[in-house]
Amino acid sequence: MTLLQARGLVKSYGPTPALRGVDLEVAEGEILAVTGPSGCGKSTLLHCLSGILRPDAGEVLYGGQRLDTRSEADRSRLRRTDFGVLFQFGQLVPELTAAENVALPLLLAGQGRREARAAALTWLERLDVADVADARPGEMSGGQQQRCAAARALVTEPRVLFADEPTGALDALAGERLLACLTRTAHERHTSIVLITHDASVAAYADREITLRDGAVDPTGLGADIAPAPTGGRR
Ligand SMILES: Nc1ncnc2c1ncn2[C@@H]1O[C@H](COP(=O)(O)OP(=O)(O)OP(=O)(O)O)[C@@H](O)[C@H]1O
Ligand SMILES: [Mg+2]
């Protein structure tokens, strides 16, 4: 069943077009990769889908209901309850331990301390970082920090996780470990993921991939890097 849908999304920043009529659907529990070269509109699309930005034209439907026409307050409430966001840099609070960082969204939502900590520990386990529960970000590797940030994005049990280049700051091994944990958890819990990446090896973790080129979905479905590099390598 379709959970999230975009129809004819158009968005410009002043004279700069970023999206020029994007249609897409994300099914419940589906991991959709959005690939494409720098500047093709990936982040803008994510911001429109998650209700951070309002498109200039077109519509976003979540659970069959218009999202883009709701008020700012309504959209931010929905982001807190139904959506999770993971960026390239996890942006953990440096003064707090891993467990405290992950518990934070639950405490802000009014949950009790003991319950929030228990849930945080469960999520740290799911993301394979239970061993650093009491460490602060400065004492963790980049990969551990990012898996902890993923736990924090998922602790509220969102129906959609929006991830914008979540492995962008990690080496290949740490990236694979994050993606393995994320995709396993998403499939187990039926969480949809919109996974933005410019990296074909990251997109390979998704159930399906679409490619944006100049603000529109490439109908051939082939990435921007289909033209072989002069050396014959992929990039
Ligand atoms: N806040 C902004 N103000 C003005 N122009 C912007 C802004 N954000 C993005 N743009 C422009 O909109 C277009 C799409 O940008 P966007 O950030 O969505 O691309 P992207 O695919 O996420 O790129 P990258 O892979 O480099 O992150 C680009 O031409 C960019 O320069
Ligand atoms: Mg971007």
Global confidence as pTM? 0.92
pLDDT value of residue 113: 97
98 lies in some domain: yes
Substitution candidate for ligand 1 out of 20, 35, 43 with most atoms within 8 A of CB: 43
Residues 185-205, mean pLDDT to the nearest whole number: 95
Residue range 21-34, pLDDT digits in tens = 999 999 999 999 99
Nearest CA to ligand 1 atom 13: 18
pLDDT exceeds cutoff 70 at 227: no
Within this chain, do residues 76 and 110 fall inside the same structural domain, yes or no?
no
Within this chain, do residues 78 and 165 fall inside the same structural domain, yes or no?
yes
Within this chain, do residues 75 and 162 fall inside the same structural domain, yes or no?
yes
Within this chain, do residues 70 and 170 fall inside the same structural domain, yes or no?
yes
Q: Which ligand is nearest to the CA of 214?
A: 1
Lowest-pLDDT choice from 66-75, 207-216, 220-229:
220-229
Nearest CA to ligand 1 atom 3: 13
Residues 142-165, mean pLDDT to the nearest whole number: 96
16 lies in some domain: yes
Query: What DSSP letter does each residue of the chain carry, written as one string?
Result: -EEEEEEEEEEEETTEEEEEEEEEEEETT-EEEEE--TTSSHHHHHHHHTTSS--SEEEEEETTEE-TTS-HHHHHHHHHHHEEEE-SS----TTS-HHHHHHHHHHHTT--HHHHHHHHHHHHHHTT-GGGTT--GGGS-HHHHHHHHHHHHHTT--SEEEEESTTTTS-HHHHHHHHHHHHHHHHHHT-EEEEE-S-HHHHTTSSEEEEEETTEE-TT---GGGSPPTTSS--
Within this chain, do residues 176 and 209 fall inside the same structural domain, yes or no?
yes
Residue range 39-89, pLDDT digits in tens = 999 999 999 999 999 999 999 999 999 999 999 999 999 999 999 999 988
pLDDT value of residue 223: 54
Within this chain, do residues 55 and 66 fall inside the same structural domain, yes or no?
yes
Q: How many domains does the chain have?
A: 2
Within this chain, do residues 2 and 55 fall inside the same structural domain, yes or no?
yes
Pocket of ligand 1 from Cβ distances under 6 Å: 13, 16, 18, 36, 38-44, 198
Within this chain, do residues 78 and 164 fall inside the same structural domain, yes or no?
yes
Domain housing 113: 92-157
pLDDT value of residue 222: 63
Within this chain, do residues 167 and 151 fall inside the same structural domain, yes or no?
no
